[in-house]
Amino acid sequence: MKTDKILLDHGSGGKISHRLISELVAPAFDNPILSCLDDGAVLDMEGKRLAFSTDSYVVDPIFFPGGSIGDLAVNGTVNDIAMCGAVPLYLSTALIMEEGFPLADLERVLQDMQKAAREAGVYIVTGDTKVVPKGAADKIFINTSGLGLIPEGVNVTGSNARAGDIIIISGTMADHGMTILTQREGLHFASPLKSDSAPLNHMVRSLTERFGKEIHVLRDPTRGGVGTTLNEIAVSSGTGIKIYEEKLPVKDAVAGVCELLGFDPLYVANEGKLLAFVSPEKAEDVLETLKADRYGKDACIIGEVRAEHPGKVFLQTRIGGSRIADMLTGEQLPRIC
Amino acid sequence: MKTDKILLDHGSGGKISHRLISELVAPAFDNPILSCLDDGAVLDMEGKRLAFSTDSYVVDPIFFPGGSIGDLAVNGTVNDIAMCGAVPLYLSTALIMEEGFPLADLERVLQDMQKAAREAGVYIVTGDTKVVPKGAADKIFINTSGLGLIPEGVNVTGSNARAGDIIIISGTMADHGMTILTQREGLHFASPLKSDSAPLNHMVRSLTERFGKEIHVLRDPTRGGVGTTLNEIAVSSGTGIKIYEEKLPVKDAVAGVCELLGFDPLYVANEGKLLAFVSPEKAEDVLETLKADRYGKDACIIGEVRAEHPGKVFLQTRIGGSRIADMLTGEQLPRIC
């Protein structure tokens, strides 16, 4: 698609946003450390490996079942740091608010942030507050940036998948995205959906402590969902990926809403799930470790890494066929996080 | 002022924004490291002292004489890190763009960011891009967060001013703020104003290398200007501050516009100036060091720290009188940075 303007699709996490990043943003900032596809950058600070990550949150609505823009902003950046294999330690937060934003809502958002920070065990240490005239922003946008320390013996990156690796997901897909969508559209269902917004750092630490370098890739499939994240890993690692449709976990209520509204849960955002690529001989033990965590009890194996078809993700369908599960071209859902 | 909504004044950097931070934000995030008044937080990472800072930039217009939202976003965070006495190393950047924002403008902003990063000698290592529907944000907002390393023997904080310290400013006041204002209002003057947006880290490094612990406080007087920053330092340090009206440097063109429009340059934002509080016996040498830098050639002494009247800033007027120069209560200029 040729355009001279920013489109909603540029923020989708799909193909068009990847093109924007790889053709415009990354070349502008070209340097040896720039992390384009991983969730954070890994920095060498006088012998220590630090993970550094940033995200702005613009979710609409700002309060929803299972969370708010406040805990999302903390959990999202905590998780990005954790997906580098790091122990998250410190967050910054920068608020942009619209004139007229209710102070009571701000207070609720701040409390959600602090509650999430406590659970994750991180400190919010520095911040910034900007106010723009009414109409120049929609309610509140929150940026969080984070810092963590990568323990010795951990080497996790999106380019580290190897043929033979087993792919594990820590729980069901699409809970966050479909919750936001149904809230926004004012749809009410008998079995209400709930965002999975959660900090995954303690679960990651259990994995890295126990399995060290046997954990090759960790990623949280947020914008663009599991499908997009797997494609990114396949490209970064130069491997093929095969997943099994019948093993992809989706709650019945979420699957129902997806079907009703025409969404594929494989491409819908999660905010409390991780994908782990691990050595095959450790896969069962990793699965048990994940299941022992409150945020990993529905963990399951969904696929494996292949040497053939590098850069491609194949889905083996329920009826035994196989098709390419590509990145989406356009936007499924704007302002999902 | 009692209100249950966010006002433009809450973002001014003046009294009302301080109250918001100290009564709502800081208590929510209460922890031993939280930096409320310094430009960044100082973190101990296994024996290394890191400075960590964040700022969101919402300036309107996004292009202006002397700079753009792009270099402002890099210089602003580089300077916040430098004001902790640190050598800035790495930045993150997170963009929030409105649907329909011209790609050509984005490209220009990114180029300005990279040019500023090169001059400062920092790498932009990680980022995020969000797009919101047309009307949900105004053009583009940029967050940058930054990391730097504090060299051994440097101890600079806003609470470190001591009676007897000499107060030096690195150049003229109010250039940035009055440039933005005249641009926004479509005012055109015979002698066009220009923002002072600049990275100050190399100048700071010259100071800390040469004078170490004799440099007590460094701050860049951005939102709220020199007047607000001096009040913050007086309160943090528990000292009085005396400044001399006749010594406050303001370019003639800027002074003229301030007078015409009724602004006091003491409270107007700067984006390429610093205030240094230094031991009296080193003041002349510090001044020479600043003047040797391209961004410090107009440096001059503007005042001194006193033991009496802790927490207050006094201005000795041209005619010899003395009056309290308090923080402003309300907003002078919204969306100045």
Q: Are A282 and A214 in contact (CB under 8 A)?
A: yes
Q: Are A89 and A147 in contact (CB under 8 A)?
A: yes
Q: Give me B9's structure tokens.
A: 């004044």
CB contact, 8 Å: B155 with chain A? no
Residues B275, B243 share a domain: yes
> Where does the pLDDT of residue B268 fall: very low under 50, low under 70, confident under 90, or very high at 90 and above?
very high
Residues B311, B197 share a domain: yes
Out of A105, A122, A149, pick the residue that ends a domain: A149
Which residues are paired to A75 by β-bridges? none
Residues A128, A76 share a domain: yes
Q: What average pLDDT does range B135-139 have in this prediction?
A: 96
Q: Judge whether A335 lies within some domain.
A: no
Q: How many CB atoms lie within 10 A of CB B253?
A: 17
Question: What CATH number corresponds to the domain at position B50?
Answer: 3.30.1330.10
CA geometry: angle at B278 spanning B277 and B284, to 5°? 120
> Where does the pLDDT of residue B36 fall: very low under 50, low under 70, confident under 90, or very high at 90 and above?
low
Q: Are A139 and A63 in contact (CB under 8 A)?
A: no
Q: Are A154 and A118 in contact (CB under 8 A)?
A: no
Q: Taking 60 as the threshold, does the pLDDT of residue A157 lie above it?
A: yes
Q: What average pLDDT does range B254-277 have in this prediction?
A: 95
Contacts of A49 in chain B (CB under 8 A): none
A75-113 pLDDT tens trace: 999 999 999 999 999 999 999 999 999 999 999 999 999
What does the pLDDT read at residue A21?
86
Global pTM?
0.96
What does the pLDDT read at residue B330?
67
- Calpha distance B115→B132 (Å, rounded): 27
Q: Judge whether B335 lies within some domain.
A: no
Segment (H or E) for A243: strand A240-244
Q: Judge whether B307 lies within some domain.
A: yes
Find the CB nearest A52 among B10, B137, B147. B147
What does the pLDDT read at residue B259?
94
Q: Judge whether B9 lies within some domain.
A: no
A18 vs B136: which has the higher pLDDT: B136
Q: What average pLDDT does range A117-127 have in this prediction?
A: 96
Residues A200, A90 share a domain: no
B146-191 pLDDT tens trace: 999 999 999 999 999 999 999 999 999 999 999 999 998 777 666 6
Residues A142, A166 share a domain: no
Out of A90, A116, A149, pick the residue that ends a domain: A149
Q: Are A193 and A178 in contact (CB under 8 A)?
A: yes
Helix A103-120 vs helix A69-82: angle between axes, to the nearest 10 degrees? 30
Residues B129, B178 share a domain: no
Phi, psi torsion values for A56, nearest 5 degrees: -105, 140
Phi, psi torsion values for A88, nearest 5 degrees: -70, 140
Q: With a CB-CB cutoff of 8 Å, which residues 25-54 of chain B face chain A?
A: 25, 28-29, 31-35, 40-41, 43, 45-46, 48, 50, 52-54
Q: What average pLDDT does range A255-268 have in this prediction?
A: 93
**CA nearest to B150 within chain A:** A45
What does the pLDDT read at residue B1?
53
What does the pLDDT read at residue B189?
67
Residues B206, B91 share a domain: no
Q: What average pLDDT does range B198-221 have in this prediction?
A: 97
Q: Are A78 and A146 in contact (CB under 8 A)?
A: yes
Residue entry with tokens 């942030």: A113
Q: In angstroms, what separates the C-alpha of A66 from chain B's closest C-alpha? A: 20
B88 vs B8: which has the higher pLDDT: B88
Q: Taking 90 as the threshold, does the pLDDT of residue B46 lie above it?
A: no
Q: Judge whether A144 lies within some domain.
A: yes
Residues B109, B38 share a domain: yes
Q: Judge whether A215 lies within some domain.
A: yes
Residues A198, A283 share a domain: yes
Q: Judge whether B305 lies within some domain.
A: yes
Contacts of A133 in chain B (CB under 8 A): 8, 334-335
Residues A176, A120 share a domain: no
Residue entry with tokens 């701000």: A106
Q: What is the DSSP letter of B127?
A: E
Query: CA A191: distance to chain centroid?
Result: 25
What does the pLDDT read at residue A187?
76
Q: Are A84 and A54 in contact (CB under 8 A)?
A: no
Dihedral over Cα of A23, A26, A30, A36: its sign: negative
Q: Which residues contact B328 (CB under 8 A, 6 or more apart)?
A: B12, B14, B15, B224, B227, B228, B267
Query: Residue A51: is it exposed, middle or buried by C-beta count within 10 angstroms (0-12/13-18/19+)?
Result: buried
**CA nearest to A138 within chain B:** B136
> Where does the pLDDT of residue A8 fall: very low under 50, low under 70, confident under 90, or very high at 90 and above?
confident
Q: Taking 70 as the threshold, does the pLDDT of residue A19 lie above it?
A: yes
> Where does the pLDDT of residue B17 fall: very low under 50, low under 70, confident under 90, or very high at 90 and above?
confident
What is the residue-averaged pLDDT of chain B?
Answer: 93
Which residues are paired to B218 by β-bridges? B276
Residues A300, A176 share a domain: yes
Domain total in chain B: 2
What does the pLDDT read at residue A186?
78
Longest CA–CA separation in chain B, Å: 58
- Calpha distance B95→B100 (Å, rounded): 14
Residue entry with tokens 């194996």: A301
Question: What CATH number corresponds to the domain at position B262?
Answer: 3.90.650.10
What does the pLDDT read at residue A35?
66
Q: Domain range holding A126?
A: 31-149
Share of residues in chain B with pLDDT > 90 (%): 80
Residues B246, B185 share a domain: yes
Which amino acid, residue B217?
A: V
Q: Give me B99's structure tokens.
A: 């649907």
Q: In angstroms, what separates the C-alpha of B44 from chain A's closest C-alpha? A: 11
Phi, psi torsion values for A63, nearest 5 degrees: -120, 135
- Calpha distance A77→A89 (Å, rounded): 11
- Calpha distance A22→B269 (Å, rounded): 36
Does this complex have an ipTM over 0.90?
A: yes
Dihedral of CA atoms A64, A67, A72, A74 in degrees, nearest 10, equals 150
Residue entry with tokens 């903390």: A74
Q: Judge whether A251 lies within some domain.
A: yes
Phi, psi torsion values for A236, nearest 5 degrees: -60, -40
**Which of B56, B180, B333 would best serve as a mutation to test chain A binding (most A beta carbons within 10 A)?**
B56
**CA nearest to A148 within chain B:** B45
A201-250 pLDDT tens trace: 999 999 999 999 999 999 999 999 999 999 999 999 999 999 999 999 99
Q: Are A272 and A75 in contact (CB under 8 A)?
A: yes
Out of A149, A184, A206, pick the residue that ends a domain: A149
What does the pLDDT read at residue A329?
75
